[in-house]
Amino acid sequence: MVNKRPSRVKTYKPVQTITSSEGSPHVDPFLKCGAVFNPVLPLKLRPKDRPIPLTSVTVKVKGTLPTNVLINYSCFITSVLKEGGSFNNLAFRLVRECSSMKVTLREYPFQRQLLSPTTTKEPLVYNFCDENPPPRRTCTYTLFLVKVNVSDSSSYDITQKSMTALVFPAPVKREDRRI
């Protein structure tokens, strides 16, 4: 029988917990899955028309410490272009609503035009980092379809929609001296 030396376990000093002025601990990261809507998709939608909600996710930002919310939206878009020169032009809008106050965060265009007839199904992924959303509020992030302009000989479909929100503490700046 061979005598084995006991293994050494390294120990580390615990990281100091950052607390707000109210004494609440730092922001614990969490992931929230959103709701998916399946509306009838129009062949024409102008900017002055009512936007069509596709997905939304609601998160509660607790405390007053700096927080980030990373929004991820993904889907598949099928474009059916039946003639050469057919086109699909779509636009999406990400909106944050906190306490009845709506803010447009970003708009995303999607355009397809090919010279020959074709059908494509392609993944579409949008990411947006909302830096320092309003503290101590419940906020809903919604992705809307806000513009549809397709040629007479084309169509589109949006399937397998998904939206998530990752809430995490904002990076600490060196001048904050909280590290």
Global confidence as pTM: 0.80
- Least confident range from 12-26, 28-42, 66-80, 131-145: namely 12-26
Q: What percent of the chain has pLDDT over 70?
A: 80
Per-residue pLDDT reduced to its tens digit, 134-161: 888 899 999 999 999 999 989 999 999 9
Question: Is a pLDDT exceeding 70 seen at residue 61?
Answer: yes
Q: Parse the chain into domains and list their residue ranges.
A: 39-170
- Going by C-alpha positions, the residue among 150, 142, 124, 152 that lies closest to residue 51 is 142
- CATH number belonging to domain 39-170: 2.60.120
Residue 26 to residue 14: CA distance in whole angstroms: 14
What pLDDT sits at residue 10? 43
Question: Is a pLDDT exceeding 90 seen at residue 9?
Answer: no
Of residues 14 and 144, more confidence is placed in 144
What pLDDT sits at residue 177? 52
Confidence of residue 89 (pLDDT cuts 50, 70, 90): very high
Mean pLDDT, residues 126-136: 90
